[in-house]
Every structure is written in C-alpha cells, then in structure tokens.
Amino acid sequence: MKLVRKAVFPVAGLGTRFLPATKAMPKEMLPVVDRPLIQHVVDEAREAGIEHFIFVTGRNKAVIEDHFDRQVELETTLLERQKQKALDLLRHDLPEPGTTSFTRQQEPLGLGHAVWCARELIGHEPFALLLPDVLVQHERGCLAQMIDAAREVDQRSNIVAVEEVPRERVDQYGVVGVGAAKGKVFSITSMVEKPTQGRAPSNLILTGRYILQPEILDLLARQDRGTGGEIQLTDAMIALARTQPFYGLKFDGRSFDCGSKIGFLAANVSYALARPDIAPGFRSEIKKILAELNGG
C-alpha cells in the first residue's frame, strides 16, 4: 500500500493581491511561463505518486475544473491542423478519469476549514496537502522528497516541509521548534503561528507542503476559530502533536511565494531560465532591460 495516495489542493481563495487580474480568473490559473500555478503543483503531486487529486474550490473557480477536463473542440482543431506536439502536451497533463474530485468551501474560514471541507473525500487515511500559492523548484519535487523522508520514520507520523527565513521575518509565518534529527528529518518540538520576534523557537517556517494523518480531521471538526476568525490548520496540528509525532524536512530546492507579486514574478523568471527552449532568448532580453535601466 502506498504511503500517501491522496492530495488536497485548497483553491478557494479570492486572490485579492492580484486584482484586477483575478477579478474574472482564479489566481491559481495565473501562468508561470506557460503553465498555470495549479498545474505546476499538481505536476509535483503526480511525480510523488499521488493517485487522487482533491480540489477545495469556491465561487468563480469552475475554470480550474475545466482545466483538468478534456476540451474536445480544442483537441479536434489541433488534430485537424496537425499540431501533434500541442495535442500530446494536453493529453499528458490530463489526469486519468475518476482521479479528480471537487468540493466547495462555501465560506472563507481559513485553511483548516478548507481541509475539513474535503473530509469525506479524504476518508480515514494519510493525505498530502499542497498550497498552490507555493512553488518549489528542484529536479525532485518537494512532496516526493517528503515521501522519501517519511519512509525513514514511523509511517503514522506527520511531516511538514520547512525552510529558513531571516529571523526578523519569522512573525509572518508558522514557525517550528527543532528536536532530534533522524536521517533527513527532525522531530518538531513546537509549532507557533506568527510568533513575535524574539519568541520564535527557530527561524524554520512551514512552507506549504504537509503529509497529515486523518485524525486531524476530527480535531478540525471541533476546533474553535482562531486568528482572524478562521479555523487555523496550525492550531489543529498543535493539538494533534500531543498524541502523534510531527517531523520537519528541510527540503532541497528554492521556494517561491506566488501569493505575492514579487514571488510570482521571480518564479516566472526562474522557471523560464530553467527551460532550454526559452532560456537563451529570455536571458538576452533580461540583459537588455537591465542595461537600459542602468543607463545603457
């Protein structure tokens, strides 16, 4: 039996930081080079062996469901115009029939609530949670690295991806305390949501990739609203850590917070420069722009 078969993608957010671009288009469909954000994250999950993709959506998100469905008219046109390469690309990205599920988060009550909305689809088994705002660029995806690491510890454990940030920025994130190391992972001794500077247990933050045990769903069902009047996932993880071990993995690769404009633009540059078909011409254009900005 696979360690993790299902992955949850919370895609109900409004994307207000990208208005007006996200007025009619979900932020998860914004392109990084030529692939939507959500496609990059689903690709990561597929590489890790995920078999069932669960999307927690909201209003005006139907285009995400359409993206992961066939568009017969487009396929027919590509076939008639003998654009086989483009057709093959579409077919490669298409999930197998019956492997995608969509459920609604009808109120914006936070990440914990979004996960709880997927409870019937998750069932009673471990699951992965991937935030589509975060891209991790590496030859081996972040979730695949986490599953590799999970095999080094108790398979009834919870694992989160973490990375370092400057200590003056820890108050913007969920922060973990560092315990004993076991292989590539370390035990987590504490979790604090947005600690004040000087009170953070470390400078390692939660990065938006999780492998969680199903008992967290029962905790989310009973949990009171926390910061911002939302049901916080971190609060449920803190409660679960009283009865189950949590481990952190400091993953290989670079993360991009595509929920911010700077992170989104940086991701586009980095992913473009990693593409052999684009990089030479793109690098030349960047040099021209920088030269012009620096006065020639």
Q: How many domains does the chain have?
A: 1
**pTM confidence score:** 0.92
Q: Does a structural domain hold residue 177?
A: yes
pLDDT for residue 227: 66
Task: Return the CATH number at 174.
Answer: 3.90.550.10
Phi and psi at 77, nearest 5°, equal -65, -45
Residue-wise pLDDT for 65-87, tens only, equals 999 998 889 888 988 898 898 88
Task: Output 57-61 pairs: Cβ under 8 A, ≥24 positions apart.
Answer: 57/11, 57/12, 57/102, 57/103, 57/104, 57/105, 58/11, 58/12, 58/13, 58/14, 58/104, 58/105, 58/106, 58/108, 60/24, 60/26, 61/11, 61/12, 61/26, 61/28
Q: Does a structural domain hold residue 228?
A: yes
Q: What is the CA radius of gyration of the chain?
A: 20
Q: Does a structural domain hold residue 268?
A: no
What is the pLDDT tens value at each position of the chain, 296 positions in all? Answer: 568 999 999 999 888 899 999 988 999 999 999 999 999 999 999 999 999 999 999 888 899 999 999 888 988 898 889 889 888 888 888 889 899 999 999 888 889 999 999 999 999 999 999 999 999 999 999 999 999 988 888 777 899 999 999 988 888 888 999 999 887 889 999 888 888 878 888 999 999 999 999 999 999 998 777 666 788 898 999 999 999 999 999 999 999 999 999 999 999 999 999 999 999 999 999 999 999 988 76
Amino acid 135 reads L
- Spatial contact of 40 and 274, defined as CB atoms under 8 Å apart: no
Q: Does a structural domain hold residue 282?
A: no
Q: Does a structural domain hold residue 103?
A: yes
Q: Does a structural domain hold residue 295?
A: no
Give the HSE-up count for residue 210: Cα atoms under 13 Å, Cβ half-sphere: 25
Phi and psi at 161, nearest 5°, equal -85, 135
Q: Does a structural domain hold residue 74?
A: yes
pLDDT for residue 296: 61
- DSSP characters for the chain? --S--EEEEE-----GGGTTTTTTS-GGGSEETTEEHHHHHHHHHHHTT--EEEEEE-TT-HHHHHHTS--HHHHHHHHHTT-HHHHHHHHHHSPPTT-EEEEE--S---HHHHHHHTHHHH-SS-EEEE-TTEEEESSS-HHHHHHHHHTTS-TTSEEEEEEE--GGGGGGSEEEEEEEEETTEEEEEEEEESPPTT--S-SEEEEEEEEE-THHHHHHHHPPP-GGGS--HHHHHHHHTTTS-EEEEE-SSEEEETTSHHHHHHHHHHHHHT-TTTHHHHHHHHHHHHHHHTT-
Residue-wise pLDDT for 212-270, tens only, equals 999 999 999 987 776 667 888 989 999 999 999 999 999 999 999 999 999 999 999 99
Q: Does a structural domain hold residue 294?
A: no
Look up the domain containing 46 and give its range.
6-259
pLDDT for residue 228: 66
